[in-house]
Structure 1
Amino acid sequence: MRPRLQEIVVDCADPAALAEFWGGLLEARWAVRDESWAMVDADPLLLAFQRVPEPKSSPKNRLHLDVQVADAGVAIARATARGARVLREPEVGPGGDGYVVLADPEGNEFCFVIDNGGTWTASIRAALDAAPEPPA
Structure 2
Amino acid sequence: MRARIDEIVFDCHDPARLVRFWAELLGGDLVDRSADWSYIDPPGFVRLAFQRVPEGKAAKNRLHLDLDAGDVEEAVALGAVRMGAVVTDEHGRFQVLADPNTSNYQF
Q: What is the aligned residue count? A: 103
4+ residue runs over 6 A deviation: none
Which residue of 1 is the match for residue 99 of structure 2?
104
Q: Tell me, what secondary structure is at the counterpart of 2:32? A: strand
> Structure 2-normalised TM-score?
0.82
The aligned counterpart of 2:50 is 49
Q: Give, in angstroms, the shift of residue 68 of structure 1.
A: 2.4
TM-superposed deviation, 1:98: 3.5
**DSSP 3-state at the match of 1:65:** coil
Q: Identity across aligned pairs (percent)?
A: 44
**Alpha carbons of structure 1 residues 92 and 31: separation in structure 2 relative to 1, 3 Å:** farther
CA–CA separation in structure 2 for the residues paired with 1:21 and 1:103: 11
Greater Rg, structure 1 or structure 2? 1
Structure 2 distance, partners of 1:29, 1:94, is 38
- Which gives a bigger RCO, structure 1 or 2 (Cα 8 Å, sep 6+)? 2
Distance 1:92 1:19 in 2: 30
SS of aligned partner of 2:19: helix
Please, which runs of 5 or more residues in structure 2 have no aligned partner? none
Deviation at residue 2 of structure 1 after TM alignment: 2.4
3-state SS of paired residue (2:96) = strand
State the Cα distance separating 1:93 from its structure 2 match.
5.1
Q: Any idea what SS the aligned residue of 2:75 has?
A: helix
Q: SS state of the match for residue 28, structure 1? A: coil
1:84-128 Cα offsets, whole Å, 9 max, x none, are: 111022224578x4322111111368xxxxxxxxxxxxxxxxxxx
Aligned-residue Cα RMSD (Å) equals 2.1
Gaps of 5+ in 1: 110-136
Deviation at 1:29, TM superposition (A): 1.8
The equivalent residue for 1:29 is: 29
Aligned AA (2:47):
L
Match of 2:75 in 1: 79
